[in-house]
Amino acid sequence: MINIALPKGRLGEKVYKLFAAAGYEFPGMLDNNRKLVFENEELNMRCFWVKPFDVPVYVERGTADIGAAGKDILLERNPDVYELLDLKAGFCRMAVAAKNNFQDDPEKILRVATEFPNIAKNYYSSIGREIDIITLRGSLELAPVLGLSDVIVDIVETGTTLRENNLSVINFIEDLSARLIANKSAYKFKGNIIDEIIRKVS
């Protein structure tokens, strides 16, 4: 049996549609209910919805053989898994944003609000800037608007959220998209099936 972890939400639905179009269908997965685990006996596969941030945990520990995770989450969690395929869905960017009139003072410690403390730390250590990390759970745009932070390190897709809150991108960090990841020992023992899935969904 192959176990597949998909991220619950918009990105996961896009990825599920790629799987379904490739012949890996799990009836009921897109129904609006609270069921989390779906099995296709014919394929001998099981697919389940997990919180996006948790996909690498299920895959690293082998509960899922494969999974789909945003590159942002992989960079943040740095799991010990194989990253096998760019699923070319959910394109966006990790960036630093600040108020439109923000004037950086390089002498001051920069207050950075983010949901991605490791990505932020890595980025600022790569440019040698001392920062004070403020970890938040979503709606990051509020932080510079209300003065909690100087900047945010966040995902930018269309840029609408920044624009509507009078913020703009000041530094680009990384291009992001959904990636197919695999548990290392599952790939060793079920590599043929996983490679076939990759061929069909890519």
Distance CA 139, CA 16 (A): 26
SS (H, E, C) 12-41: HHHHHHHHHHCCCCCCCCCCCCCCCEEEEC
- Give how far Cα 127 sits from Cα of 37, 103, 106, 123, Å: 44, 18, 12, 7
Near ligand PRP in 13-42, by CB under 6 A = none
Q: Can residue 159 be called a binding residue for ligand PRP (CB under 6 A)?
A: yes
Pick the closer one to ligand PRP by CB: 126 or 160: 160
Q: Which of 32, 33, 103, 160 binds ligand PRP (CB under 6 A)?
A: 160
CB of 71 to ligand PRP, least distance (A): 14
Among 29, 55, 87, 156, binds ligand PRP (CB under 6 A): 156
Name which position in 44, 78, 139, 166 contacts ligand PRP (CB under 6 A): 139
138 binds ligand PRP (CB under 6 A): yes
CA dihedral of 57, 63, 65, 69, whole degrees rounded to 10: -30
Footprint of ligand PRP (CB under 6 A)? 138-140, 154-161
